[in-house]
A and B are shown apart, each in its own frame.
Chain A
Amino acid sequence: MRDVAIIGAGMIPFGRRDEDSLMDMLAYASLKALDDAGLGEKSVDAVYVGNMGGGIIQHQTSIASSLVDRLNLLPAAAETVENGPASGGSAVKNGLLAVASGYYDYVLVVGGEKMREVTGWRATDFVATMTHPQAEYPYGITLPGMAGMFTRLYMEKYGVTREHLLAVSLKNQEMGALNPYAHVEMTLDREGIFDSPHAVVNNPMAADPLHLYDMCPVSDGAAAIVLCPLEMAKKLAKPPILIAGFGQATDTHTLQERADPTDLKAVTLAAQKAFEMAKLKPSDIQVAELHDAFTILEIAESEHAGFFKKGEGGKAAAAGKTRFGGQLPINVSGGLKARGHPVGATGVAQVVDLTWQLRHELPKNRQVKNAQNGFSVNFGGFGNNVVAFVLRRVEQ
């Protein structure tokens, strides 16, 4: 197996992009990554597109085939990868394996989703299609609803409080406000959403015990990377970012069939595999992008990935340990909470943000000083299909 490096990274601002189609967004992000890689007119050997909802929302299938045609990357091999909200992470994994195997040299991976062209009612239903088709979906369960039930159990077992969730929300909104690619560039005020009469109006219950500002927004957006063998990447001007490790694991479809529904086994296993492959430990990581579709998930993932002991993640967030400048900055991009969550784009966007961090390309107010190793978790379903990556800066 060959070592594989990221040589190009690109993203378009997430948010409500009424003027752009899904294909527009995928093309814009792809061109940014291709230009960043400095490939010029050279084509790529293969394209992997992470997308969850094109078939449902846009009534469009064979999206990767359309993209290579639009970008004139013909006759590159092209595939669309669908793995729910972990579609982006899965697309990156497919690109990584294709280059590592020696079959392809240059691969473009792009993730994108256009969710705002339908009503919230329809978008909520679209996301809920990942729940169990007989045992869950018919009852009207939503992903926020799954998160609400999980949060109640997690609070009971580990003593997570609303203060802990609030710390994640305030932190990620603060960082998102500094990120020009973020969907929600707005800081939040503790009093406005937590302990004042205004909070009842500003931050209503959404999926008990989770409130509106415990949720990520519904977003449009796309992000892309270009991969090639590390040995070839070393000849380029920018520092190559090695995909040092990846892991993927699955768990039961329904929460109720897990021996302990608070145990996110797939996160633990995916993270362990990624660290093992990278020959690194959680303590070697300087910056992490975790899948905070709901504030509780950042806390739970930070524990299951091995950064904090069970029951300590919420306290760590409240103590500022996961803030920019803290012991382990988590979601310096603003995370899904503020950067946004165009589902198929998220896993790729996390890798793009880490690439920028490890290249030391970000402005001072978001650049983790001298970051060498980064980590991401892309959480599919309700933890039933998880993809994790360890990225490492390679000095030339």
Chain B
Amino acid sequence: MRGKFAVAGLGVSQQGVKLGISDLELRRQAVELAIEDAGIERTAIDGYIHAWDTREDLRYLGLSPSFASALFAGGASASMSLLAAAGAIATGQADAVACVFGLAPTSGYVPGREGAKTIGAFGYGYASKAGLIGAASAHALHARWYMDEYGATSADLGAVAVALREHACRRPEALGYGKPFTLADHQTSKMIVDPLRSLDCCRDSDGAVAVIITGAERARELHPRPVYLLGAGYGHNIRNWHNGTVYAHHDDIAPAAAKAFAQAGLTIDDVDVASFYDPFTISVLMQLEAYGFCKPGQAGAFVRDGGIGLGGSIPTNTGGGQLSGFYAAGFTALVEAIRQLRSEAEAGQVKDAEVALVSGHGLNAGVQNTWGHVTLLLGNQS
């Protein structure tokens, strides 16, 4: 696995709220930017993976791949699509695969979600009959478990919100840019689903991302700074649902991380930058501990002490993440990791970043946060 496949192109469309542009047009823009970034002939794109649960309109994208498919595991789809692309290349089915995501929910464009929202789409939907509705409440169940277990407080959650907003304030493309806030602002923000306040929750935004995956040699020919897949691992929270520990697990990270680090031949100490799936502040606290960046129950203090800042021991979600950057499901974390490893993170650049950890987290379950998980290790040295 290590060093055999790489990101040869990255395209990020405009990201924002109420852009008034359809999701398809945003994906077209992202694909164009990725093709330009890779310096590849568009006819050389011979595989297409739509990281969402609907079919793609290849006619409008002007592509003619030998295969196209949809791949859906919610926010885990992004990292999974890279592995599916690697699989297509490894089995000789393609040489250059575009992995693409794009939604425009704030402009009314969400493919497959026309009309009234169905709670059933969230999975084991009976909990919604008791009033459990939406991703925030599903994550709040984990947050309450964590706070009860370790005596953590809303201020610990707030420390994450503040740290990520500081990151965003260095990055003009982040939606939180130019809008700093303090812990006091967090503590007075509206309670939504206790213990999560308004500033503990990310917001939907419109935008698309395209990533072109090729074999490593091809990527070196195409791009001056290829980003290599070093290791990957899957986890699934159904395992912890069955054994009764699901609320102690933001994701089923342990087996995923073990596999990813073994494939990469690396340890947690080798990671220079972390890019977590962070729809809610609790997500950052629980992942810092699950990966071992800090001890159980210590994540709040770790964040308050600057642990995830640019000068901290593990700079995390340096683009502001979903909470303060932009929401492109699993691609938010992926984009920032690629930018860091290409030294394109501008004022948020982590000096000499060589290895990035990306987490994907997806399929809102309606009974706990989500089921699917991917740990991905990326690097700029094969």
Are A and B associated in one complex? no
